[in-house]
Structure 1
C-alpha cells in the first residue's frame, strides 16, 4: 500500500514553507480577531444587546458563540500554531513571537478552565455560568477583545521584524531590500 506524504515536516514548515504557513495562520487569526471586533461594534456602535451581538458567523450560526468547544478549539489552534511556527523566527522577532506565545498559553488555560466548567457543570466561585479567572474582574466580551489584542500585537511586531532580511533565517519570508 502506497504512503501518501505531503513532504512537510518541522524543518520545511519553518524553512521553505514558513511564509505559506504564516499566511494561512494569519488569515485564521485575523478572521477570528475580526469576529471579536464586529461583536464589539454590534454592542458599542449599534447598541445591540450582548445576547444578540454574535459577530459575523454567529448571526447565522448562533451556537458558535455559546460553544465552549469551539472557543477552546480556537485557543488550542492558536497555541499550536504559535509553537509550530516559532522555530522559523530568529533574533528580536523570536523574542516578540515568544511574548505572543506566552500570553496565548495563559489565554488557552483560561479557555480550558471554561471548557472544564461547561463539561462538569461546576462553575468558578459559584457563578451561574462558566467563568475564567480574569472574567471575575472584566466582562467576557471585553476580556476576549483584550486577550486577542495582546496576543496579536506582539505577533505582528514579530512578523514585521521577521520579514526584514536577517542572518540565521531558515525561511524565505524576508523581503528583499
Structure 2
C-alpha cells in the first residue's frame, strides 16, 4: 500500500540541477574539482614564493599574479572564487547521499563562513571604508591570523571534507547506492539493478 503512495521518480531529469546531480554529476564534480585544484596551485605557488624563495608577501602573487598582478590585488577575484566555491558546493550537494552528503555539507558550511569573510573584505575594498582601524581590508579571523596563512587554512578545511565526501560518494555502501541517482558509479548500479 505504501508503494502506491510514493511519487514516481521522473524518467528523465528535467531541470539543470537535476541534470548536474544526475546524469552529469561525475562530469560536474570533475569540472568543479579542476577549478579547486587550480586554486590550490595558486595558493601553493604563493606559499612556495614566500617560505622557500623568501619573497616578500606583497611580491608573492602565485602564478596568475605574476602575469596579471592586478588580479591578486583585486578583491573581485577573491570574492568571485569564494562565491564560485559556495555555489558549486551548494549546487552539487543534491547528488550526494549518506556519508558523502554529510561530509559535503560540512565543506559547504565551512565555505559559507569563508565566503562571509571574503564578502567583508570585498565590501571594505569597494566602499573604501576599512574596518578595525587597519590600513587595508581585513576579515574577522585576519585580526588573529595573517591573510596568507588564514587562506591556506580555509582552503584546507574546505578541501579535506570535500575530498572525503567524493571518496565516500565514489565508494557507496549498498544503502547509499540504492539511494543514489547520479552518474558516478554506473557499473555498481548495474549489479544492484540486476
User: Which TM bucket (shorter chain)?
Assistant: over 0.9
Aligned to 2:90, which of 83, 87, 92? Answer: 83
SS in 1 for 2:65: coil
User: What is the Cα deviation at residue 74 of structure 1?
Assistant: 0.4
1:174 alignment partner, one of 173, 176, 185: 185
Query: What root-mean-square deviation, in Å, do the aligned CA atoms of Structure 1 and Structure 2 show?
Result: 1.3
2:74 to 67, 77, 80: 67
Aligned length: 171
Do the aligned partners of residues 156 and 175 (structure 1) sit closer, same or farther apart at CA in structure 2, a change above 3 Å counting? Answer: farther
Q: What are the residue-to-residue correspondences of 1:9-158 with 2, within 5 Å?
A: 9-158=16-165
CA–CA distance in structure 1, aligned partners of residues 161 and 187 of structure 2: 23
Residue aligning to 1:3:
none
- Quick one: distance in 2 between partners of 1:35 and 1:60? 12
Q: Find runs of 4+ consecutive structure 1 residues off by over 4 angstroms.
A: none
Structure 1 residue runs of 5 or longer lacking an equivalent are 1-6
* Alpha-carbon offset, residue 174 of structure 1: 2.3
**Which residue does 1:161 correspond to in 2?**
168
Structure 2 unaligned segments of length 5 or more: list them. 1-13, 189-194
Measure the CA separation in 2 of the matches of 1:8 and 1:22: 17
- If you compute each CA radius of gyration, which structure gives the higher value, 1 or 2? 2
